[in-house]
Every structure is written in structure tokens, then in C-alpha cells.
Structure 1
Amino acid sequence: MDGSVALLVTAVGCLIGVAGLAIAVFVLRRGRKQARLAPPDLFRDADADAPWGDPRTLKPGDVVEIRQVPYAIRGSMHLVEGAWSWVEHLLDDPDGARRRLSVEQDPDLELVLWDAEPGATVTPGAPTIDFAGRRYSWEESGQARYSATGTTGLDPTGTVRYHDYRAQDGARLAFEAYGESGWEVARGERLHRSEVTVRPQG
């Protein structure tokens, strides 16, 4: 009788051990499957320890290197239109050119370097615009509210109207009018993430 009880206890113990092992294997496999199915945070994975820093944290006084050329940020405009927001940083160009860097996440991070065209005579509104050897097609337009920090030459808050155009090769053409001022024209070029390095103030 004692031998039967011992045998029964041993059998039950073996069954419990096997069941526990099976549960552990199931949980491990389920965890791996969920890890594979979970959408990766590409921006976090790519930039958590990246040497180029996070352009979403840029502010006046910081230095940003674009294609290995350093620019000090002298002012920034934070723009909001409904649920959509973006930032435009005015760059202190060593050659005196009027340049700005726009930073937008919608949903992927988009960085565009803009060069002002103060002598341009074109105006927005047409479905297509021919300018500087390219044909641009209308993409979007609207009006946003802005808040300015640093040195921008603008009121601290206000509104801006805009029209955005894009060429077939991805080149951009933008028209902006802050407050009651006239249209300002700029040509834009999208930057690869690795072409922009952030040097925070201090």
C-alpha cells in the first residue's frame, strides 16, 4: 500500500512538472510572438542613442549641423492648425542666406531645408506653378496659428497663411504670409535624417 501511494505521488509530481513545463513553453512562445507582432517605434529605436540627436527638441540658441554645415538657430515658430502642428526654425546662415529648417512628425519625421526666394514674382493659387526650371503642383493650403520664440521679426503670436507645392522629384515650393504681410516664397528640399545633427545649447 505504501509503495502504491509513493508511486501515485511520484506520478502526480511528474504530471505537475510536465504541465508546468508546457505552460512555461507556451508563455515564452506567446511572448515572442507578441514581440514580433508589436509595431516597432522606429524613431525611438533609431534615435535613442544616435549621435545626431533629436531635432524635435531644437530651440533658439541651439546649433544644428545640416550636411556638416553648422547653423545657429536664432528663432523658432511653433505652428498649429487643428490637430496638426509643426515647427520652423530660422537659421543663422554663415553666408547670409535666408534659410529655415522645418520639423514635422505626421506620422513620420520630416525635415525640410528651405531657401528664401526674395526676388520671386510668382504668386500662389494656380494648380501648377513653373519656377526655377521646375513645375510644381499644388499640394495643400490653409491658415495656422503661430507662437514665436527667439529672434524672428514677428509678433509673439499671430496667424500665417500658406500654400504648399511639390515637384515630381520631391522638391518643394512654399508661400507664406504672416499676419497682413505679403507672400514670402521659399524652395525646399527634404533632408535625410542622418544629414541633420543637433548640438543643444550648453
Structure 2
Amino acid sequence: MDGSVTYLVAAVAVLAVVVFVIVVWARRRAATRPGGARPAGRPARGRAAEPLRGGPHRLAPGDRVRIREREYAVSGTIRLVEGDWSWVQHLLDDASGTRHRLSVEDGPDLELVLWTAEPGATVTPGAPTIDLGGRRYTWAETGQSRYTAIGETGLPAAGTMRYHDYQSGGGARLSFEAYGEEGWRVARGDLLDPTELTIRPTAEER
């Protein structure tokens, strides 16, 4: 009888361990697939410190920025809000006529990304990985935000924006954005060090 009780207790203990392992495995799997929770190690948006005052947050149409030895003029600014988190995108013009934008995000650290439009790209979002320009990008996050726009953005003054973000090594980024009912805008980005950016504000102080 004692032997049967011991066997039963051992069997229950083994079953409990198996169930625990399955639950942990399932949660981790859900956290790494598109449409699921945020990947492990990526800070949740909206839980960052208060935005820094001044600097790239205060850029506005008419200001000039020097990034990696190239001069840009700010032609428009888009401010986006998703829940209790917000970020900014400044549209940049340069002599080449290529569309660029500078995104400014607050997290544990200030994150600056210089984006270059890829109007000829035929890829679409949704897959766990996407290959573009000889580089493989991995899904990072998906969401929808509300925006307000000022300056020359080509957008209504306010609306909604859907997005899919992907990442690769060396600070490389890939984004898909759709404002309102329009199709996807594709852009590749490079993570910047704050020291690579110099702001040249207009004469009028803000």
C-alpha cells in the first residue's frame, strides 16, 4: 500500500512538471509570432520616461538638421499616439529629392532612426521575416495609432496610421505604414547615435 501511494505521488509530481513546461513553452511561442505579444526583451511602448525637452522632439517645419554629414530641411512633422505612448516623425528634404524622415522615440533610451523611402519595393508586411535589398528583416511589432500632421506632409491634418515594423542586425530597420485608407509606404531605416545629429533651428526661438 505504501508503495502504491509513493508511486501515485511521484506520478502527480511528474505530471505537474510537464504541464508547467508546456505552459511556459506556449507563452514564449506566442510572444514571438506576428500578431502576438511583443517579443521578449523589447520594452513595452508607453512605459518610457518623460520625453526629453528640446532636441529632436522640438523640430518643426523650417528647421534644418545635419545627419551624417548631410543637410536636411524639415518640411513637415507627424505626431503619433498609441494608447499612452507617443512618438514623432519629421519629414526631411535634401538636394537629392529622395524622401526621408527622422523618427524620434522615447524608451529606456532615446531612439532616433533615419528612414529612406523605398517606393519601388514590392514586399508586403505580415510574414515573420522579409528579405529586401540583400538583407533579412525579422518582425518586431504591429499596431495602429492616431496622428496629427503639420507642414508639407501630403496628409489630412489628423487621422489614423497602421504600421508593421521589422528589424535586422546593425541597427537596420524596415517599416510599413498606411495612413487612412491608402496603401503601404515602405521605408528602410538606420538607427542613429544622437551624436550623429546636429540641429540647426530657424532664427525664431521656440
TM over 0.5, shorter chain:
yes
Letter in 2 for 1:157: A
Q: How much does 1:107 deviate?
A: 3.0
Letter in 1 for 2:174: L
2:97 corresponds to:
96
Q: Cα deviation per residue 1:86-134 (whole Å; 9 max; x = unaligned)? A: 1001101211111111111113111100000000000000011111111
Aligned with 2:120: secondary structure? coil
User: How far, CA to CA, are the matches of 1:168 and 1:150 in structure 2?
Assistant: 33
Q: Does 1:187 align with 2:178?
A: no
Aligned with 1:169: secondary structure? helix
User: How far, CA to CA, are the matches of 1:85 and 1:146 in structure 2?
Assistant: 9
1:20 corresponds to:
none
User: How far, CA to CA, are the matches of 2:60 and 2:105 in structure 1?
Assistant: 14
Q: How much does 1:57 deviate?
A: 1.2
Q: How much does 1:187 deviate?
A: 0.2
TM-score normalized by structure 2?
A: 0.72
RMSD: 1.7
For structure 2, which runs of at least 5 residues remain unmatched after alignment?
A: 1-48
Q: How much does 1:174 deviate?
A: 0.2
2:147 corresponds to:
146
Aligned with 1:55: secondary structure? helix
Letter in 1 for 2:63: D
For structure 1, which runs of at least 5 residues remain unmatched after alignment?
A: 1-40
Aligned with 2:171: secondary structure? coil
User: How far, CA to CA, are the matches of 2:108 and 2:145 in structure 1?
Assistant: 19
Letter in 1 for 2:79: H
1:172 corresponds to:
173
Q: Which runs of 4+ in 1 moved over 3 A?
A: none
User: How far, CA to CA, are the matches of 1:66 and 1:86 in structure 2?
Assistant: 19
Aligned length: 154
1:162 corresponds to:
163
Q: Cα deviation per residue 1:147-180 (whole Å; 9 max; x = unaligned)? A: 0001100000000000000013321000000000
User: How far, CA to CA, are the matches of 1:68 and 1:56 in structure 2?
Assistant: 21
Aligned with 1:197: secondary structure? strand
User: How far, CA to CA, are the matches of 1:169 and 1:151 in structure 2?
Assistant: 32
For the pair shown, the structure with the greater C-alpha radius of gyration is 1
Aligned with 2:57: secondary structure? helix
Q: Cα deviation per residue 1:57-102 (whole Å; 9 max; x = unaligned)? A: 1111111111121111000100000111110011012111111111
TM-score normalized by structure 1?
A: 0.73
User: How far, CA to CA, are the matches of 1:146 and 1:116 in structure 2?
Assistant: 19
